[in-house]
Structure 1
Amino acid sequence: MSNSKFARKGCRECYACVRVCPADAIVIKGGQADILADRCIFCGRCSKACPQHYRVEKMSISAVKEFIKSGENVIASVAPSFASAFGNQSLKIPAVLRTLGFTHVEDSGITTKPIFDIYNTYADKDDNKNYITSMCPTIDHLIQKHYPELTESIIPVVPPFISHGRFLKHKYGADSKVVFIGPCVAKKTDATKEICVDEVLTFYELQKWIKSENLNLDDFPIEPFDYVCNDKILFPIPGETADFLEKKNPKKTVFCVDGIEDCKSVLNSIRNGKFENTFFEMNACSHGCLYGSDLDKDDRCFFEVKRDLINNKQKYIDLFQANAVDNPYQDIALDVLLYKEYPPKPFHLEQPTEYEIREILKTMGKTVRSDELNCGSCGYHTCREKAVAVFNGLAEPSMCLPYMRNRAESLSNLICESSPNLIGLVDKDLMILELNPAAESFFKIQKDEANGMPLGMYLDDEEFERVRTFRKNVRNEKITFKEYDDSTLLQTIYWLEQNQMFLWLAVDITKDEKAAKKLQTLKIETVEMAQQVIAKQMTVAQEIASLLGETTAETKVTLTKLKNFILDEEGDE
């Protein structure tokens, strides 16, 4: 299994690429998207759908500039659908390309006649088999990888851009550099396997290159390609090939099919034996190459683009009729090999058992058939198809958006329901949307009783108005409710601009406040008691000191008397 990295940094788990991929070639691992190259048909839908604008294929502008810078012989092979990208300015493109440095500029459509001759041979076969054109690389990959049993129906001839590349290499030499410029990314992949096309630019890349060089198409003259061909077949328009073949009165029924969905539907019918002796012109893009996979769509509808292509083609021939030739490569056509094989390249998914499917479905919260919504939000048509992808490592259970949403809602509800904090949602008109059980218990109301009621019945709504007006959220604001047993809350108010509602969070700190007040009272009482004790101690000390003073004086008098008495007696003796 070969994965081609598509998106890592910035991938948002939106699964847009999975939903649009017609080949189930997107792998989701760790929430990130990769491309399974073994299943990819290079239709470019994932790049267009990606909101981060990731591209599957690399840009080739730098490589082509290096060719030109090196002084090599660089030839531009331009797809005839270029009018779909450049509109009324299309006839300026040859001059622009020469200014950019290309030594030769040719319309790749001038080599389609040999291919159409081969198609006509197969359309005229009376062998009861079905045949499919090989002009569209995406269709070739689709059949090879997803309908491998039908590869024998692909006509074994190269697409026009490869045939033109081979003619150019034959004419200008193998060392010359051939750059194909066209509308789709699939040709980039096919060109890497061919030695006749060195690089592929899409019209989108050419437009970016022209813009980066500050070139204005209005400043350029109308110039012809190196060859002006009388061939008026406009094969980029779906149905043109079929019309050409029908004019030859072939033995097979000829149908034109465009758009991957219709092509897959027809291929399924061919697989089931619903067609025989039929020739199919198939184009992966709706409206064919005029709406190629890497075209930057403007405001023109398909019929405007078709008109511009027809008008430009006719105007081009009218302007340069004197230089026109029927087939510029007629002399070397027989020397160029146009044969190409399209071998089957199947990639089979492992099929889980019914038990394994049920076990995978359980991981997505689907325990009974009614849980299988088949909503397609994950990119798979059914939940069981998604389970098969999970079994093969292509998808993850978390891609089920309804399941993840329900799970997230359940977790959110569980948190809100069990939280001891007060939580509420209030709309922009200051009407209560919802209160959690803790809030309902605080306001002494029944379940859902407050829903739809004015906020002012329970809280000061002026504070909410200020939050919305000044876009300044309130955090940890202390409020007291006399009517609710002198309760105190610490409230936070958020204005949710995207949702146009308020989120109200509050913590009941009544017990803490009462405990704090009680502690403060106790502190004051303790201080007062200490003061009283100190006062009493001072009084006692003073009384003791007074008593000690009196007794000391009396003692002194008594001892003095005793001393004098003794001295008097000794004197007498």
Structure 2
Amino acid sequence: MNVISFKEAKCKNCYKCVRTCEVKAITVTNSQAQIMDDKCILCGLCLEACPQNAKTFNSDLNKVKGYLRDNIPTIVSIAPSYLGVLKYKTPGQVITALLKLGFWKVFETAEGAAFVTKEYEKLLEAGTMDNIITTCCPSVNDLIEIYYPTLTKYMAPVVSPMIAHGKILRKKYGKDAKIVFLGPCIAKKREAECDHRTRGYIDAVLNFIELEQWLKEEQINISDLEDTPPENPDPMVNRLYPVSSGIISSVIASQVPSKYRKFYVHGIKNCMELLDSMEKEEVTGSFIEANICTGGCIKGSALNKEGLSRFKVKLDMEETIPKLPVDNKDFFERGNNISFFKPFSDHSHNDPMPTEEEITQILQKIGKIKPEDELNCGACGYSSCREKAIAVHQGKAELTMCIPYMHEKAQSMANIVLETTPNIIILVDSDMKILEFSGTAESYFHMSRAKAVEKYLYELIDHTDFEKVLNTHEPITGKKLEYPDLGIITLQTIVYVSEQNAVLGIIQDITKEEEQKKQSYKVKVDTIEMAQKVINKQMLVAQQIAGLLGETTAETKVTLTKLRDTILNDGMEELSKKC
């Protein structure tokens, strides 16, 4: 189960989560970041780092509301960090607020912490381990098991206070009751629900941000409520577990004699630095309180940290919580016949390692030919180009994650376009100052790009259309314009570039085409004139022929008429003689 979910549509290819993740448990595929669940230690830093909120925590809130809706007896185990991070007048008001939400009973997880302290006391007293690393923080546990497996022998084989408390509550209330842990940590969800060694004691995990949202929905103001004490006996100093050095304070309060030096480490980088040192066997004979979150659980991964000072919280809690051990003889009886043992082991992954030749080939694909080409800028999220090349080989990263290379490539392509295009390309800012000037523009204006970018557009040509596009954001396309000074006729397309609040002009020289059109038109006109002359001549000839035909026809008519009359006259005379 993925505790952190991913919204693919929101990932903007910024690699900020990769840069933030100290263990590089994030893979990038098709330009989208994805959590590698089996490598993630759930420190929560990627949740904080993501500027687009592309990664979110998978919530159990609806599941818990379902328990209450179905009238299932539901118990809350509330982490002691509530004493420092929630707003109230008295701590009991928080208990009342939870009861008003519908929970059956409320107990403090610090009760479980007291049993964990008791287990640590046994280890300190036995003195058989070379070093003892506390195992209350599930993220530290994952860090060691996955990335420092040789150090698992130093991990205290003890469950966390949450699991210890879950075991105690489960023994008392049985399987029919639901047990919900409420705290400041997202890693607790995997420990409670996914780890086969600890599964079955906590049914759901909520964090304080979810609680605050829920209380707001129900219009419950903690500070307005009456005080209700928790049902557990006072766990005393064990309430200090969430602050840095809190576990050590609990152990020291017990006054168990031991040979171990005691110190605490918090923050993922500090933890890793310590573990690196321990791998070199530079640290021995120490009891080490380790916490992934800087400042301890009071700065947990599931807290609204705005306006929250870990220093103030630490001072306030240390001032109000007595550093005294549990002296109630009956306190620990509830832990009888319950095992708080938890084994730890190697959970590391054997990712394939590339050969030197393979690393070189990957580097060459992104222009890293020589050692000096390896900038090691870290923009991709990896500390060196070689580390990134290894990640590419392992399928965790993509070649295109190299921002300097992609920038150079994009710039190179842009330069090629500007240098080779046959059109005049001019980019100006909102003041009409020239930003880009193509190679063709240089030849037309007889001016170098370096000189052009020092000028304003109106020093070269009429800027009216550019100004209009800047103001209206409406493009002008296919406009024909003549520049007599340059001796050219152009076809212009001018568009607004919103990302830069700039205007781009693409000016095509169509002088030759226009001359060809003129020549073609002249030829057509000349042809028409010639055709008209031919027609006129033909009409004249036709008229002349018609005239001649008319004259000859008239003469023929006269002659034939005379001939007819003569024949008719001669015939009449012959007839009269016979009669």
**TM-score (ref. length: structure 2):** 0.91
Q: 1:436 to 1:327 in 2, by over 3 A?
A: farther
Larger mean Cα displacement after TM superposition, 33-42 or 51-60? 51-60
Match of 1:220 among 198, 202, 225: 225
* Code of the aligned partner of 1:122: L
Partner of 2:186: 185
Distance in 1 (alpha carbons) for counterparts of 2:334 and 2:83: 29
Q: 1:517 to 1:358 in 2, by over 3 A?
A: same
Partner of 2:388: 386
Match of 1:242 among 231, 240, 248: 248
Partner of 1:43: 43
Distance in 2 (alpha carbons) for counterparts of 1:48 and 1:83: 23
Distance in 1 (alpha carbons) for counterparts of 2:361 and 2:3: 27
Partner of 2:577: none
Question: How far does residue 306 in structure 1 lie from its aligned partner after superposition?
Answer: 2.8
| TM-superposition CA deviations, 1:160-180 (whole Å, max 9, x none) | 011111111111112210000
Partner of 1:301: 309
Distance in 2 (alpha carbons) for counterparts of 1:474 and 1:328: 87
Query: Superposition pairs for residues 57-96 of structure 1, below 5 Å?
Result: 57-88=57-88, 91=91, 92-96=93-97
In the alignment, is the contact (CA less than 8 A) between 2:10 and 2:54 conserved in 1?
no
- For the aligned residue pairs, the C-alpha RMSD in angstroms reads 2.5
Query: Superposition pairs for residues 168-567 of structure 1, below 5 Å?
Result: 168-192=169-193, 193=195, 194-229=199-234, 231-233=236-238, 234-246=240-252, 248=255, 250-310=258-318, 326=328, 329-446=331-448, 448-485=450-487, 487-567=488-568
Distance in 2 (alpha carbons) for counterparts of 1:295 and 1:82: 10
Question: How far does residue 308 in structure 1 lie from its aligned partner after superposition?
Answer: 4.9
> Any gaps of 5 or more consecutive residues in structure 1?
318-323
Distance in 1 (alpha carbons) for counterparts of 2:148 and 2:444: 67
Q: Is 1:131 matched with 2:132?
A: yes
Q: 1:246 to 1:330 in 2, by over 3 A?
A: closer
Distance in 2 (alpha carbons) for counterparts of 1:417 and 1:455: 20
Larger mean Cα displacement after TM superposition, 234-243 or 517-526? 517-526
Question: How far does residue 205 in structure 1 lie from its aligned partner after superposition?
Answer: 1.6
Question: How far does residue 437 in structure 1 lie from its aligned partner after superposition?
Answer: 0.9
Q: 1:261 to 1:327 in 2, by over 3 A?
A: farther
Distance in 2 (alpha carbons) for counterparts of 1:61 and 1:549: 115
Question: How far does residue 3 in structure 1 lie from its aligned partner after superposition?
Answer: 12
SS of structure 2 residue aligned to 1:488:
strand
| TM-superposition CA deviations, 1:197-246 (whole Å, max 9, x none) | 01101112212222233333344223222235160341111012223434
Distance in 2 (alpha carbons) for counterparts of 1:255 and 1:447: 64
> Any gaps of 5 or more consecutive residues in structure 2?
575-579
Larger mean Cα displacement after TM superposition, 23-32 or 82-91? 82-91
In the alignment, is the contact (CA less than 8 A) between 1:83 and 1:308 conserved in 2?
no
Distance in 2 (alpha carbons) for counterparts of 1:89 and 1:519: 94
In the alignment, is the contact (CA less than 8 A) between 1:83 and 1:90 conserved in 2?
no
Question: How far does residue 280 in structure 1 lie from its aligned partner after superposition?
Answer: 0.7
Q: 1:32 to 1:446 in 2, by over 3 A?
A: closer
Distance in 2 (alpha carbons) for counterparts of 1:405 and 1:135: 45
Question: How far does residue 289 in structure 1 lie from its aligned partner after superposition?
Answer: 0.2
| TM-superposition CA deviations, 1:284-321 (whole Å, max 9, x none) | 0011101101112112322233345457758xx9xxxx
Q: Structure 1 vs Structure 2: percent identity of aligned residues?
A: 37
**TM-score (ref. length: structure 1):** 0.92
In the alignment, is the contact (CA less than 8 A) between 1:230 and 1:326 conserved in 2?
no
Question: How far does residue 442 in structure 1 lie from its aligned partner after superposition?
Answer: 2.3
Distance in 2 (alpha carbons) for counterparts of 1:500 and 1:55: 32
SS of structure 1 residue aligned to 2:491:
strand
Distance in 2 (alpha carbons) for counterparts of 1:308 and 1:88: 14
In the alignment, is the contact (CA less than 8 A) between 1:179 and 1:197 conserved in 2?
yes
Distance in 1 (alpha carbons) for counterparts of 2:120 and 2:404: 49
In the alignment, is the contact (CA less than 8 A) between 1:434 and 1:448 conserved in 2?
no
Question: How far does residue 57 in structure 1 lie from its aligned partner after superposition?
Answer: 4.2
Distance in 2 (alpha carbons) for counterparts of 1:306 and 1:545: 125
Q: 1:330 to 1:405 in 2, by over 3 A?
A: same
SS of structure 2 residue aligned to 1:498:
helix
Distance in 2 (alpha carbons) for counterparts of 1:297 and 1:355: 47
In the alignment, is the contact (CA less than 8 A) between 1:229 and 1:327 conserved in 2?
no
Distance in 2 (alpha carbons) for counterparts of 1:44 and 1:425: 44
Question: How far does residue 404 in structure 1 lie from its aligned partner after superposition?
Answer: 1.1
Larger mean Cα displacement after TM superposition, 440-449 or 274-283? 440-449
Distance in 1 (alpha carbons) for counterparts of 2:329 and 2:187: 27
In the alignment, is the contact (CA less than 8 A) between 2:377 and 2:383 conserved in 1?
yes
Distance in 2 (alpha carbons) for counterparts of 1:175 and 1:202: 23
Distance in 2 (alpha carbons) for counterparts of 1:328 and 1:464: 86
Larger mean Cα displacement after TM superposition, 413-422 or 173-182? 413-422
| TM-superposition CA deviations, 1:138-189 (whole Å, max 9, x none) | 0001101111111111101110011111111111112210000111111000
Q: Is 1:147 matched with 2:153?
A: no
| TM-superposition CA deviations, 1:96-130 (whole Å, max 9, x none) | 11111100011111222221122233334545711
Larger mean Cα displacement after TM superposition, 392-401 or 28-37? 28-37
Distance in 2 (alpha carbons) for counterparts of 1:493 and 1:228: 78
In the alignment, is the contact (CA less than 8 A) between 1:287 and 1:302 conserved in 2?
yes
| TM-superposition CA deviations, 1:514-547 (whole Å, max 9, x none) | 2223333333333333333333333332222222
* Code of the aligned partner of 2:425: I
In the alignment, is the contact (CA less than 8 A) between 2:466 and 2:505 conserved in 1?
no
Distance in 1 (alpha carbons) for counterparts of 2:476 and 2:573: 103
Larger mean Cα displacement after TM superposition, 276-285 or 76-85? 76-85
